[in-house]
Structure 1
Amino acid sequence: MSLQSDSMDSGTRQIRVPFELFDKTLLHNECYIDGEWYFSLSGNYFGVTDPGSGTEWGACPDCIPEDVDNAVQKAHTAFQLYSRTNPRTRAQLLSRWYQLILSAKDDLAKILVYETGKPLAEAYGEIEYGASFTWWFSGEADRIRGSTLVSAAKNRRTVTIKQPMGVAVALVPWNFPLALVLRKVSAALAAGCTMVVKPSPETPLTALSLADLATRAGFPKGAFNVLTTSLENTPAVAESLCTHPLVKKVTFTGSTRVGKIVARLCAENLKKSTCELGGNCPLICFADADLDVAIDQLFALKWRHAGQACITANRVYVERTIYEDFIERIVQRTESLVLGHGLDSATTIGPVTVERSLDRLESLVSDAVSKGAKIVLGVGTRVRENDGKDLSKGFFMKPTILVDMTDDMTMTHEEVFGPVLGIYSFDTEEEITRRANATPYGLASYVFTDNTHRIWRMMENLEAGMIGLNVGNSSAAEAPFGGMKDSGWGKESGKDIAIDEYLVSKTCTMLIKDHY
C-alpha cells in the first residue's frame, strides 16, 4: 500500500495520518460543542489505533465528567430554538446533510477503515447504509402528526399533539460508528431534538466528521455535539450524561451488561431510554431449504466486518440430513476470503477492531475444542503472517469454522463477535425451536426453509425482535430495528415508532358548547 501521509496536530504531539483526504478540513481531533472545536478540561488525549497495523495514527481529547455539563447546556439552549423549527425545514436540513455525506464518502470510507479495520468495500457499504437513515428520517420529519377524537363525555373533543422531547444522548459502539450515529442522530434531529454523541474510544473521528458535515448542511450550533473520551473515562462520562437533569432521552447500542447499567441510570431519573444490546442469534437451515441461498446469506451475514455485528449468525443449526453438505459448501466459500489490511484492494476480510477481542476468541475456540468440536477451517488463534503478508502488528484472526458443536460449549451461550463460526446439527423443528430460544437474548433469528407453514410457525415461535426468513441481514431504514429479552427495548428506524422515541405526546381536551 502506498499512502500519502499528512500531519494532524493533536495539541500535544504531531500525529501522522496515513492516508490522503480530498477534503483535509473534514478530519478533526477535538470535541465538537455548540459549533466550536473544544478541548477537554482534563488537558489529556487518548490515541486512535489502526487495527490493521497496530499503529496509533490519531488522538482525541480525553473528556471527563466535568466536560458534560457544558455540552448538555449548549444542546439545551439550541433545543429552545431548534425544537420550534418547521418540520419541513428539518426535512430539508436532513436532505442537505444526506447529500454532503455521500459527497464525502471517499474520505469517510478511509477514516472508517483506519478506525474499524473493515475492508474499504465494506466501509463504502456502511456509508450507503448509514446515509439511508438520514434520507428516511428526512421524510419522517414531515409526517409527525397527532390525532383528534370525539370524547365519550358529552360536549368534549380530544386532540393529541406530539412535540420533541428535549436533549438526547447517544452512546455509540465501534463496530458501525457511522451507521449507528446516523441512525440515532437523524431520528432525533427529525423529531426536533438536539443531541450529544459519545462515540466509542476506538472510533471517535468518524462522529466528529459527521458533526462537521451536519453544520455545513445548516443545522444550528448546538444541535449535534460530540464528546470524545478514553476507555478508562467512558463509564464516568456516560453516567454523567445519563443522569444530567437536562437530558431527556438516552439511546445506547452495546453489551447487555452495560445496557442494564444505562437502563438503571435512566430509570432512576425517570428518563426514556432505547437499548439495542447483545445478540446470540441462531441461524436455522432445514433440509428443504435452497442451500445456495442459505450459504450465500450466511456468508455475507457472518463474515461482514470479521463477524463483528450484533445481528450476525452466532449459532448455525443445520438439519442432520444436509449437515455434511452444508459444511462442505460454507468451508469452500469461506476459503475464498483474503485476510489483510482494509485499504489493500485485495482484502475481503480485515482484522478485529479491538486487540483484546483476540484473547476472548481464542478462549472460545479452545473451550469448544476441549469439549469435542473440530476445526475444519482456520486455526482459532491470532495470525501474524498470511500468504507472505506480515500481519504481526495488526489484530488478525483467520476465519475459523468449528463443527460438531454442542449446547454445553461457551460459544453457545456467549456472543462471539469475531471471525469464528460454530455449526450444530438438529433433527426436528420442535427440538430446534426450543434450542434456538434457550438463551436470554432475543435480537435476531434466521430461518431457511421452503415450507410456508413452517415459515409462519417459526416466525411466531422464535423469541427474537427481528426474524429473517430465507434472508440474512434484513436491517433497513424502513424497518423497525430492535430486540426483546436481554437484547434490549425500544426500536430504531422504521415507520413512526422510531421517531416516536424522541417525542412526547400531549392530550388536550376541550369543552364545546352545544348551542349557538
Structure 2
Amino acid sequence: MTTHRDLLIGGRDVPALAGGAAADVSPHTGEVFATVAAGRAADVARAVAAADAAFPDWPALDPYARRSILLRAADLLAGRSERAVELMAGEAGGTVPWAMFNVGLAAEMLREAAAAVTAPHGEVLAAQEAGALGLAVRQPVGVVGAFAPWNAPLILGVRAVAAPLAAGNTVVVKPSEDAPLSCGYFVADVLREAGLPDGVLNVVSNAREDAAEVAEALVTAPAVRMVNFTGSTRTGRIIGTLAAQRLKPALLELGGKNAIIVLDDADLDHAVDAAAFGVFMNAGQICMSGDRVLVHRAVAEEFTERFVAKVAALPCGAPTDPSTVVGPLVSPDAARRVAALVRDAVAKGATVLTGGGEPSGAIHPATVLTGVTPEMELYHGEAFGPVCVLDTFADDDAAVALANATEHGLTCGILTENGTRGLRLARRIRTGIVHVGDQSVADEPQAPFGGVGSSGYGRFGGRWGVEAFSDTRWVTLATRHPHYPF
C-alpha cells in the first residue's frame, strides 16, 4: 500500500485545505512511491500562523530542555537507517552508501545544533558612559521559512531546520517535490517524537505545479522574518529577490561549478580515487561535485589514462544494490538533460573519453569529456549529473585562472602532497570552501558552509549557522543616572 502523508501544521497531521495529493514517483521504477498532501498558499498561511503562535514559548523553554530534544532527535534519526535507505532509494534514487552517509552526518548536525543551544552567545562591550554596562545579545529572529532540497535529503533537510531551531526560532519548511518524505516529513517525525513542541516545526508539501505559489507565499508571509534556501542558482535568485524586496534576510546555498585541481606533485593513486569520488558520488548530484578536473600537464597523460579506466569500471544500476556507485538521477528528465549537455559538447567538438550516449531511464552512464570550450553549454552550466570535464594547465597561475573562470564559487579541491603550496593556491581561489589534499566534496557540521558569487551567500554550520539565524541587539545597563546637557 502506498504511503500517504498529510501536512504537518501545529503538531497535527492535516489535509490540504483544497484537498488533493501529489505523487512522489520513484526515478528508478517509475512507479508512485508515496503521495503527499498538495498544499497551497492558504496552507502556508496556516503553517506560518502556527509557527508564529509557537514562537514565544520555544526560546523561553529551558535551554537544557531544548538541547535534550535535539540530542534525542539525533539518536532517533541514527537508529532509523533502514527506513532512510528505503526512502532515499524510493524517492530520489539514492544509493545505500549515500543514504548511510546522510544518516550519519544529519545526526551529527543535530548534535552540533544541540551543543549550540547552551554555548555562550553574546559579548560584554566597552561602554562610553561611566558606570554603564554594554551587551551585544543574540536573540532569535522569529519564524524562519526553510526550503529543503532532494539531493542530500536527510543532510539538507536537517540543515534547513537545525540551526534555526537551536537559535530559538520556529520553522515552516517546504520540502522538495522530489523527496518530500526524506527531506521534510522524516526529519519532522524524529523531532516531533523527540519532544519538539507543537507548531515549532511545520511542513507544507505541494504539487509540482504549485511550487512557485507555495514558495512565494512562504517568503512573503509577514510573520516570516528570515528565509533559508538550498537549491539551484536560478531558483535562488527568485527567492533572494522576493526576500530582498521585503528587506528580509536570506541565507542562500546555491549551485556550483567546482574544480578539482591535480598538481604535478600529487599522489596519483590518491588523486584518481579522490577525483572519482568527488565527481561521481550520488551520480554527481551534489552542489559540491567536481564538474571540472584540472590536471597539470606533467601528469595529465598518466592521470587521464588511470582516471578514465576507473570511471569506466564504476558500477551503475539500481540504488538498492549495495554495489551500485552511480545510481539513477532524480528523474528520467534529469538524465535526458545531462545527455543533452553531452550531445551539445560533442557536436561542438568535445571528445568523450568514456560514457556518453543515451540514458537508460533515469540512469546516465558515468562520463568524462575533454576539449570542452566556452561556446558549449557544459562549459558554463552546472552538470549536476555523472559528468566531468578534464582540462590541463601549465603552472599554478594557470590552475587558479581556470578554477576561477566561473560565476560560481562554492568549493574546490587541490590534490597535492605539498601543503604549503596547496595553501598558497587555496588563498587565491574564489570559493567559500577549499580542501587542500582532498577533492571538492566534504561537509562537517561544525564548519562554515556556503559559497560566494552565484553560489549564494551566508553560512550554515556551527556557530556561524546560529549567528545567521539570530538578530544581534545592543543592550545597555546604566548603573547610575547619566548627566544630560539640558
TM beyond 0.5: yes
Is the Cα–Cα contact under 8 Å of residues 295 and 330 in structure 1 kept in the other structure? yes
**In the alignment, structure 1 residue 60 sits paired with structure 2 residue 60:** no
Partner of 2:153: 177
Corresponding position of 1:466: 433
**Residue 198 of structure 1 corresponds to which residue in structure 2?**
174
Q: CA deviation at 1:170?
A: 0.9
Structure 2 residue aligned with 1:163, among 116, 139, 146? Answer: 139
Report the Cα offset of residue 453 of structure 1. Answer: 4.1
Structure 1 residue 399: deviation in Å? 0.7
SS across alignment from 1:213: helix
Residue number among 184, 200, 205 corresponding to 1:223 in the alignment: 200
Aligned to 1:493: 461
Asked if the contact 2:431/2:451 (under 8 Å) is kept, the reply is yes
SS in 2 for 1:72: helix
- The structural deviation recorded for 1:486 is 1.0
Matching of residue 322 in structure 1 with residue 322 in structure 2: no
Per-residue deviation, residues 15-74 of structure 1 (Å, max 9, x unmatched): xxxxxxxxxxxxxx1111111111112212111111111111211111111111110000
Deviation for aligned residue 1:8: 3.5
Contact 1:279 1:441 (C-alpha < 8 Å) held by counterparts = yes
1:3 corresponds in structure 2 to none
Secondary structure at 2:91's aligned position in 1?
helix
Residue in structure 1 matched with residue 417 of structure 2 by the alignment: 450
Give the superposition deviation at 1:157. 2.0
Contact 2:284–2:387 under 8 Å retained in 1: yes
- Which is worse superposed, 234-243 or 293-302? 293-302
Check whether the contact 1:167–1:248 (CA below 8 A) recurs between aligned residues: yes
TM-score, with length taken from structure 1:
0.90
Separation in structure 1 between the aligned mates of residue 101 and residue 131 of structure 2, nearest angstrom:
56
Q: Secondary structure at the match of 1:46?
A: strand
Match 1:382 to one of 359, 379, 383: 359
Identify the match of residue 8 of structure 1 among 2, 8, 32.
2
**Percentage identity across aligned positions?**
32
Deviations 1:204-233 (A, max 9, x none): 112212212211100101111110012211
Query: Which one of 400, 422, 434 corresponds to residue 401 of structure 2?
Result: 434
Confirm or deny: 8 A CA contact 1:155 1:514 kept in the other structure. no
| Alignment deviations for residues 426-467 of structure 1 (CA, whole Å, 9 cap, x no partner) | 112212211211111111111122344432321111100000
- For residue 486 of structure 1, give the secondary structure of its aligned residue in structure 2: helix
CA contact (8 A) 1:53 1:341 kept: no
**1:371 matched to 2:348:** yes
* 169 and 262 in structure 1: CA distance in 2 versus 1, 3 angstrom threshold: same
- Aligned-partner Cα distance in 2 for 1:54–1:436: 38
What is the letter of the counterpart of residue 99 of structure 2? A
Distance (Å, rounded) in 1 between the aligned partners of 2:317 and 2:283: 11
Q: Deviations over 1:298-325 (max 9, x none)?
A: 1111111101001000111111121121
Shift of 1:407: 4.1
Q: Hey, what's the Cα distance between the residues in 2 that align with 1:57 and 1:155? A: 66
Deviation at 1:409, TM superposition (A): 2.7
Q: Any conservation in 2 of the 1:433–1:458 contact (CA below 8 Å)?
A: yes
Q: Which runs of 4+ in 1 moved over 4 A?
A: none
Cα distance, 1:335 vs. partner? Answer: 2.9
State the alpha-carbon separation in 1 of the partners of residues 481 and 170 from structure 2. Answer: 43
C-alpha separation between the residues in 2 aligned to 1:111 and 1:307? 19
Task: Find the aligned partners of 1:348 and 1:362 in 2 and give their Cα distance.
Answer: 19
The reply on whether 1:132 has 2:108 as its aligned counterpart is: yes
**Does the 8 Å CA contact 2:276/2:311 hold for their aligned counterparts?**
yes
* Match status 1:358 vs 2:352: no
Verify: 1:415 aligned to 2:392, yes or no: no
The one-letter code sitting in structure 2 at the alignment partner of 1:480 is P
Partner of residue 283, structure 1: 260
1:122 counterpart residue number: 98
Residue 424 of structure 1 is matched in structure 2 by 391
Residue 503 of structure 1 corresponds to which residue in structure 2? 470
- Unpaired runs of at least 5, structure 2: none
Distance 2:415 2:293 in 1: 11
C-alpha displacement at 1:514, in angstroms? Answer: 9.1
Contact 2:422-2:437 at 8 Å conserved across structures: no
Q: Give the direction of change, closer, same or farther, for the CA distance of 1:97–1:153 in structure 2 (3 Å limit).
A: same
Structure 1: which amino acid aligns with 2:395? T
Q: Distance in 2 between matches of 1:209 and 1:508?
A: 40
Q: Is the 8 A contact 1:94 1:134 kept in 2?
A: yes
